Amino acid sequence: MRIRPCSRKAASFLLALALLALPAPARAASAGHAFEFLRLASDPVGRSLSGAHIASVAGPCAVAWNPAGLAAPEPGALLLSHTAWMGETTWDWGGVSLPAGGGALGISCALFRAGDLEAFDENGGALGDFSPTQATASAGYGRCILGDLEAGAVLEWGYESDGFDASHSGWACSAGLRYVTGPLGVAAVIRHFGPSIEAGEDRFSWPRTLAFGASVRTALGLTVHAGVERAAGEAAAIAAGCEWQATDGLSLLGGLKAPTGPDGSRPAPSAGLLFDVGRASFSYGYQVHEELTGAHQIALSLRFS
């Protein structure tokens, strides 16, 4: 039985799958990968910086961006984020990092839900509502391996269901390196490398991505990030971001990601803020798209000894 989404709500969901990927631009996110949801931003800070911060990321969200960031000298932390998209579409992500063995262990899980959508068969007959669901669980470890060189790796499990009777799952891994000296950090990371997924007669690859980045802290309370990444089957994209500590406990964030290929995609800007109050911090991120108003993401982070 073939599914043909015919309602505006269903069309919006399909568009959301293509556009929600951060920091990928709208058209670059539609390469037909399995587990496309793994390219979504785990946290508002990463969303606001367009993913250019892989050389400075730390805490639970390092599991998603660069597992080498788990080696940062940070206390244990819990991070919970929620993204509100169009209609009933939501993206929830949670992660925890715990110091262990001279480094840190990171665990995360996430759920992408599209809500109830309408579907029809090829003859226009109603098939009822369906609720596509996508989920992931990850576990990783990072530590310093040589001087100021940090390394980390993550094992990932992904699951997708079309809301009817079709589903598939698979395993992959991510790994990263980071070198930090003084105010400068450089990093390289590979994400979501695993065997292809078979879904009926179709075969999909994970959203395999190779990324490089650098971050520089200045004496003016400004940190500048820059990076380049390429996902399998797509043109490379350049990302830039900056964060400015406006006052004690308040940082303003901004980013931009631009594709390098001739597919007509335009740069995707994003912005946000981070409010730190002792052991807790609150963050907000907003990503702008041409087709829609954008995606809002909020997060709460709690640090503990």
- CA–CA distance from 143 to each of 43, 151, 203 (Å)? 22, 6, 36
Per-residue pLDDT band at 109 (split at 50, 70, 90):
very high
Helix ranges (H only) for 22-97 are: 44-48, 62-65
Rounded Cα distance between 256 and 17, Å, is: 20
Name residue, tokens 């209609």: 87
Higher pLDDT, 189 or 204: 189
pLDDT score of 117 = 65
- Range from 20-34, 65-79, 97-111, 165-179 carrying the lowest mean pLDDT: 20-34
Residue 147: Cβ-neighbour burial (10 angstroms; 0-12, 13-18, 19+): exposed
Q: Which CATH superfamily is domain 8-304 in?
A: Outer membrane protein transport protein (OMPP1/FadL/TodX) (2.40.160.60)
pLDDT score of 113 = 83
Domain ranges of the chain: 8-304
pLDDT score of 275 = 96
* pLDDT over 50 at 156, yes or no: yes
pLDDT digits (tens, 9 = 90+) for 50-78: 999 999 999 999 999 999 999 877 779 99
* pLDDT over 80 at 284, yes or no: yes
* pLDDT over 80 at 19, yes or no: no
pTM of the predicted protein model: 0.84
CB 140 within 8 A of CB 174: yes
* pLDDT over 60 at 37, yes or no: yes
Higher pLDDT, 114 or 9: 114
